[in-house]
Amino acid sequence: MKVLVTGGAGFIGSHLSESLLEMGHEVFIIDNLWTGKLSNIARIQNHERLHLVVDNILNESVMNELVFKADHIYHLAAAVGVRNIMDHPVETIEVNVQGTEAVLRLANRFKKKVLIASTSEIYGNHLDHTLSEDDNRIMGSVKKRRWAYACSKTLDEFLALAYYDEKKLPVVICRLFNTVGPRQTGQYGMVLPNFVQCALFGKPITVYGDGTQTRSFTHVYDVIWALSRIMEEPRAEGEIFNIGNDHEVSIEDLARKVKEMTGSESEIEYIPYEKAYGPGFEDMQRRCPNIEKAKNLIGYEPSRDLENIIQSVIDYFKE
């Protein structure tokens, strides 16, 4: 099978591309290298079944040819990372909305199946329970720049489901919850690689806010397993799936765990959000998925616990 991965030189995209090649597929990657890196695909760059295009997904002539060749499309290209989103709000909205519209429009032209990689940010600021796919969204003010990313990805989902309902385009949506692992950097505000790098270098481990906010972390290998299985499942078409880990940890406890596992002497510092990101930032206190839907369809079950996940990131940076 011929598979197109947009954002295929990114953190998740590079792991997915490797996995698809191991499964025997011919893989086409398009990435503009804004947040993706050639080093992420160094192991596969010369593979006989890999084709790399360094370009923007908004280049319609290039995308038209790639979509035409592909049987399946994994659309992972997007603006990512809290820091990136706060610093580049215009690009965030343009890339996420216009890019997804372009992918869906061309996929519909040739009736190619598409998986849209969405985000747990869709849910907004829920507090009281694990998040299910049909839950309402709780968004902050449009004055809070933090929510631009969530709203752009929400529009992506609306558009994808509209193509499914109106145009009968085979589409599936996966909402990813804090995917972490080797190759992820802290450059754009990702918390775990930031903590690990600071701990290894003996720098202060910086916790934003009071550290009581919780997250649930999923290893990238579990995520790409789920994405490829859901893409192959006809019953998933027109549906939305949470892909994550339903075990929560506070950011404060995560910092302590990283410090312990690295044997670091780093201090844990607490910095207000305003100082870290400037005005227009608002965080969510809790973000934990209900994963029953994916579990029931494909037998999805995260295979790596928090210690295993942290250790894989430590090992990566030590290398």
Amino acid letter at 103? V
Whether residue 195 contacts residue 254, with contact meaning beta carbons closer than 8 Å, is answered with: yes
Specify the pLDDT at position 191.
92
pLDDT band at residue 40 under the 50/70/90 scheme: very high
pLDDT band at residue 186 under the 50/70/90 scheme: confident
Specify the pLDDT at position 189.
64
**What does the domain layout of the chain look like in residue ranges?**
2-181+217-246+289-298
User: Hey, what are 198's tokens?
Assistant: 């600071």
Q: What is the dihedral of CA 6, 113, 91, 282, to 10 degrees?
A: -110
Average pLDDT over residues 296-313: 97
| Best CA proximity match to 3, nearest among 232, 302, 233, 208 | 232
- Strands 214-215 and 179-180, by their bridges, are unpaired
Specify the pLDDT at position 130.
87
The alpha carbon of residue 7 and the mean position of all alpha carbons in its chain are separated, in whole angstroms, by 11
Whether residue 102 contacts residue 62, with contact meaning beta carbons closer than 8 Å, is answered with: no
pLDDT for 70-126, tens place per residue? 999 999 998 776 666 667 778 777 888 999 999 999 999 999 999 999 999 999 888
Distance of alpha carbon 317 from alpha carbon 268, whole angstroms: 20
Q: Residue 228 to residues 163, 175, 231, 236: CA-CA distances in angstroms?
A: 21, 14, 5, 12
In CATH, what number does 2-181+217-246+289-298 get? 3.40.50.720
Whether residue 196 contacts residue 183, with contact meaning beta carbons closer than 8 Å, is answered with: no
* Residues labelled as active-site residues: 149
Sign of CA dihedral 235, 118, 286, 138: negative
**3-state SS string for 213-249:** CEECCEEHHHHHHHHHHHHCCHHHCCCEEEECCCCCE
Distance of alpha carbon 238 from alpha carbon 234, whole angstroms: 9
Specify the pLDDT at position 79.
74
pLDDT for 224-262, tens place per residue? 999 999 999 999 999 999 999 999 999 999 999 999 999
Helix axes 220-231, 11-22, angle to 10 degrees: 60
